[in-house]
């Protein structure tokens, strides 16, 4: 193919892929199979790799995320992003309506929309391409998180047709669907990490992540709620949003125009119940005057528009009796109190238990056994106790006192500084901790041991055959086959799977160790950057935090883990059984020590490699990719559009500034 045809082919593939994307994620009417889609995507990826001169940041290939954002650019909003005033009753909506009618004397329509509970985003399009995606920030300026927003498949990177304004802004809410929220929390629970309280927190955290490939895996969604430009096609807000649908935006089909307050109230009553069937969290409805001319006439107060109000849904609440509090010990030793309640119906499900999270919450609520308590299901999935009906408390009801000894092993509980949770320190003698660690090690995402499950682990543990993960590799067929409900066949299957697990890649073994805060992603990063367990074992907090995405909390936990003799012994044993404790030869082959001892900072954009690829090259060749310039920095690899302050600082500190080409030469030398 000649170069012209290659460009044509690239453009054609981009257009096709963006169209399939629209059909799948915006209108839910896919016309090709996932396989065919993947094939086309692969073809485009390859062409873009071979012909970087046709690169486009809005190519569909960018939706999988790749850039590491060290810091987001702060951008001023063209129009301030205000918030809405709230109403909690129909009375307050009537007052809102009265205030408007004092100013506006003609008939007008309201538009009612769902109030999505996520993070607001301002998207700027120029000539049909997304050029900026700015968070609300402080309302007057926010962060440009465009590389993360490109991973949101329902947000068009290129618009359809050509009927849109040359330049416009569209604002909306970025949300994390419930299904994904539950997934993330399940994972965090397995990894002993604190759970996100609700999809809003999880979503806004995701939007600010530095690694856009992790953002891509979280399947964020977005609901636009207003279009802003000087030359919009219609006077009505609702009509403009409908028009934006034609440009490729996923505009909610649930908004309605209302001619009077009764219609507004009907909308509220409908969604007060039906919102529970939506795939994403909503916390109310927004009522807006539809005409932009009238909106202008009404104007703004200092904080919010006079032409709109948010009606907040009441959290579903029920009252029930607190029967008892029980305590669960997790694999990390953290003790979680759980309230056992008299069953009560709440938002469509029967609630028998509520999480109490930690001892502070019990203290703050001043809980007594037998109390009549209020339970709520707000944005959270797990119901929580929000208060006590003190008027109903019997004087003999005993206060709930947090246990001081482990309910499983009787050891005195401890509290770590700065943490709300109590821990059982008896890591090697407390059954749920021992069994929990083994269960984590054999789980699908780690060693994936076929045939071994919680029940078998329980049996092997009570027979005294298992007390650490290393015991798995000395199990004999007879140990297993004599157990209840197991026979020769299952024993063979388990042993074969254990044998096979010796070729499970290093990063999964590392994850399986169950080091606090070292989840799947962190394990991958550590394995890839440091290459083997010995390097991880001896790394200092400083060396660890120099790695992208590794913060102080993780670094300290890793150093702490390897400071304990029993863990070092465990690693040596696993090594002796032949488990993978370093990257595979193939992974290693691409590693050198050419940049050993060098701290390299990169800045700007590059011609032949993405920033992520350059960082990987630094990692693979034994260098250290650092994020801020200091006297210790060895090189600044400067790309295009490098920030002037960085350049200035490098010059002041006399740090050698090299180009992309010179950097590659450094590797080849």
Looking at beta carbons only, is 68 or 289 nearer to ligand IVH?
289
Distance CA 361, CA 367 (A): 9
Cα separation of 327 and 338, whole Å? 6
Strand order in the sheet with 256-258: 86-87, 308-312, 282-289, 110-116, 256-258
Number of residues binding to ligand IVH, judged by CB under 6 A: 15
CB of 275 to ligand IVH, least distance (A): 12
| Residue 493 contacts residue 475 (beta carbons within 8 Å) | no
Q: Rank residues 306 and 321 by Cβ distance to ligand IVH and give the closer one.
A: 306
User: Can you name the residues that pair with 172 across neighbouring β-strands?
Assistant: 121, 224
Q: Which of 25, 37, 196, 225 binds ligand IVH (CB under 6 A)?
A: 225
Whether 157 contacts 19, CB under 8 Å? no
**Residue 190 φ then ψ, to 5°:** -60, -30
Q: Of 173 and 439, which CB lies nearer to ligand IVH in the complex structure?
A: 173
Q: Which of 6, 55, 64, 82 touches ligand IVH (CB under 6 A)?
A: 82
Show contacts of 525-533: CB within 8 Å, 24+ apart: 525/549, 525/550, 526/550, 526/558, 527/583, 528/583, 528/587, 528/619, 529/619, 531/582, 531/583, 531/588, 531/591, 532/506, 532/581, 532/582, 532/583, 533/506, 533/571, 533/575, 533/581, 533/582
Task: Give 312 or 321: the residue with its C-beta nearer to ligand IVH.
Answer: 312
By beta-carbon proximity to ligand IVH, the closer residue of 258 and 344 is: 258
Q: Using CB under 6 A, pick the residue from 152, 286, 559, 638 that binds ligand IVH.
A: 286
Angle at 227 between CA 221 and CA 232, to 5 degrees: 145
Asked if residues 439 and 331 have their Cβ atoms less than 8 Å apart, the reply is: yes
Binding ligand IVH (rule: CB under 6 A), the pick from 87, 202, 310, 547 is 310
The answer to the question of residue 311 lying near ligand IVH (CB under 6 A) is no
d(C-alpha 449, C-alpha 498), whole Å: 6
For ligand IVH, which stretch binds (CB under 6 A), given 114-122, 316-324, 448-456, 561-569? 114-122
Stretch that binds ligand IVH, among 82-90, 212-220, 364-372, 570-578 (CB under 6 A): 82-90
Q: Binding of ligand IVH at residue 494 (CB under 6 A)?
A: no
Q: Give the DSSP letter of residue 412.
A: B
Q: How far is the CB of 271 from ligand IVH (least distance, A)?
A: 12
Nearer to ligand IVH, 84 or 335 (CB): 84
Residue 393 phi/psi, 5-degree rounding, is -75, 130
CB atoms within 10 A of CB 447: 23
Q: Is 113 in the site for ligand IVH (CB under 6 A)?
A: yes
For ligand IVH, which stretch binds (CB under 6 A), given 151-159, 214-222, 230-238, 303-311? 303-311
115 is catalytic: yes
In angstroms, what is the minimal distance from the CB of 255 to ligand IVH?
8
Q: With CA atoms as reference, report the closest residue to 629 among 656, 652, 649.
A: 649
Cβ-closest residue to ligand IVH? 120
Residue with Cβ nearer ligand IVH (68 or 207): 207
Beta carbon of residue 115, minimum distance to ligand IVH (angstroms, whole number): 4
- Give me the count of residues in the chain: 669
Taking CB under 6 A as the criterion, the residue among 63, 77, 115, 218 binding ligand IVH is: 115
Q: By CB under 6 A, tell whether 120 contacts ligand IVH.
A: yes
Question: Does 376 sit near ligand IVH (CB under 6 A)?
Answer: no
Applying CB under 6 A, among 10, 84, 281, 460 the residue interacting with ligand IVH is 84
Q: Is 625 in the site for ligand IVH (CB under 6 A)?
A: no
Please name the residue that has the structure tokens 């697990």: 501
Distance CA 656, CA 315 (A): 59
Which two structure tokens, joined as six digits, stand for 601? Answer: 């900072």
Q: Does 140 bind ligand IVH (CB under 6 A)?
A: no
Nearer of residues 61 and 226 to ligand IVH, judged by Cβ? 226
Rounded CA separation 286/482 (Å): 65
Check 40, 62, 115, 624 and give the catalytic one. 115
Question: CB 572: neighbour CB atoms within 10 A?
Answer: 12
Q: Which stretch binds ligand IVH (CB under 6 A): 48-56, 109-117, 371-379, 628-636?
A: 109-117
Active site residues: 115
Question: Where on the chain is the footprint of ligand IVH (CB under 6 A)?
Answer: 82-84, 113, 115-116, 120, 173, 225-226, 286, 304-305, 308, 310
């Amino acid at each position: 193919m000649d170069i012209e045809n290659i460009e044509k082919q690239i453009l054609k593939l981009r257009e096709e892929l963006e169209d399939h994307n629209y059909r799948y994620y915006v209108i839910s009417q896919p016309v090709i199979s996932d396989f065919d889609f993947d094939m086309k995507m692969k073809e485009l990826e390859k062409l873009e790799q071979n012909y970087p001169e046709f690169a486009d940041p809005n190519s569909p290939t960018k939706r999988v995320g790749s850039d590491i954002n060290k810091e987001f650019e702060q951008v001023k909003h063209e129009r301030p992003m205000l918030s809405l005033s709230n109403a909690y009753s129909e009375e307050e909506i009537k007052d809102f309506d009265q205030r408007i009618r004092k100013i506006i004397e003609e008939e007008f329509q309201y538009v009612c929309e769902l109030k999505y509970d996520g993070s607001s985003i301002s998207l700027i399009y120029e000539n049909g391409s997304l050029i900026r995606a700015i968070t609300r920030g402080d309302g007057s300026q926010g962060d440009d998180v465009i590389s993360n927003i490109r991973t949101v498949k329902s947000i068009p990177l290129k618009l359809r047709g050509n009927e849109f304004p040359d330049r416009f802004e569209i604002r909306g809410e970025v949300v994390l669907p419930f299904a994904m929220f539950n997934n993330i929390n399940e994972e965090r629970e397995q990894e002993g990490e604190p759970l996100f309280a609700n999809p809003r927190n999880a979503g806004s955290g995701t939007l600010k992540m530095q690694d856009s490939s992790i953002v891509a895996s979280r399947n964020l969604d977005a609901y636009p709620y207003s279009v802003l430009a000087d030359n919009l096609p219609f006077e009505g807000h609702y009509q403009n949003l409908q028009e934006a649908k034609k440009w490729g935006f996923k505009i909610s089909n649930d908004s309605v125009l209302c001619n009077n307050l009764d219609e507004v109230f009907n909308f509220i009553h409908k969604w007060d119940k039906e919102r529970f069937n939506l795939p994403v969290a909503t916390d109310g409805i927004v009522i807006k005057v539809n005409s932009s001319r009238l909106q202008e006439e009404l104007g703004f107060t200092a904080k919010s528009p006079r032409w709109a109000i948010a009606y907040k849904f009441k959290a579903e609440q029920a009252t029930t009796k607190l029967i008892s509090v029980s305590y669960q010990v997790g694999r990390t030793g953290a003790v979680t109190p759980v309230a056992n309640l008299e069953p009560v119906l709440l938002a469509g499900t029967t609630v028998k238990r509520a999480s109490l999270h930690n001892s502070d919450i019990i203290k703050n609520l001043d809980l007594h056994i037998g109390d009549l308590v209020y339970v709520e299901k707000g944005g959270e999935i797990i119901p929580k106790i929000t208060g006590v009906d003190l008027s109903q408390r019997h004087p003999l009801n005993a206060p709930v006192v947090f246990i001081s000894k482990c309910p499983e092993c009787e050891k005195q509980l401890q509290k770590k500084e700065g943490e709300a949770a109590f821990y059982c320190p008896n890591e090697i003698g407390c059954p749920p901790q021992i069994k929990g660690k083994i269960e984590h090690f054999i789980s699908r995402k780690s060693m994936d041991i076929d045939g071994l499950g919680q029940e078998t682990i329980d049996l092997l543990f009570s027979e005294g055959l298992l007390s650490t993960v290393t015991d798995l590799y000395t199990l004999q067929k007879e140990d297993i086959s004599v157990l209840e409900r197991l026979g020769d066949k299952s024993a063979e299957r388990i042993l074969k799977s254990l044998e096979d697990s010796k070729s499970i890649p290093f990063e999964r073994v590392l994850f399986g160790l169950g080091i606090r805060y070292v989840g799947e992603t962190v394990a991958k990063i550590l394995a890839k950057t440091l290459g083997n367990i010995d390097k991880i074992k001896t790394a200092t907090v400083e060396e660890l935090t120099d790695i992208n995405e590794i913060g102080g909390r993780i670094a300290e936990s890793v150093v702490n883990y390897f400071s304990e003799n029993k863990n070092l012994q465990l690693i040596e044993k696993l090594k002796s059984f032949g488990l993978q404790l370093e990257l595979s030869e193939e992974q290693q082959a691409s590693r050198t020590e050419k940049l050993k001892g060098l701290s390299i900072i990169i800045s700007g954009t590059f011609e032949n490699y993405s920033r992520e690829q350059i960082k990987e090259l630094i990692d693979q060749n034994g260098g250290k990719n650092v994020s801020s310039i200091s006297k210790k920095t060895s090189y600044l690899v400067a790309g295009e559009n490098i920030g002037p302050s960085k350049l200035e600082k490098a010059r002041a500190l006399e740090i050698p500034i090299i180009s992309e080409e010179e950097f590659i030469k450094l590797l080849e030398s």
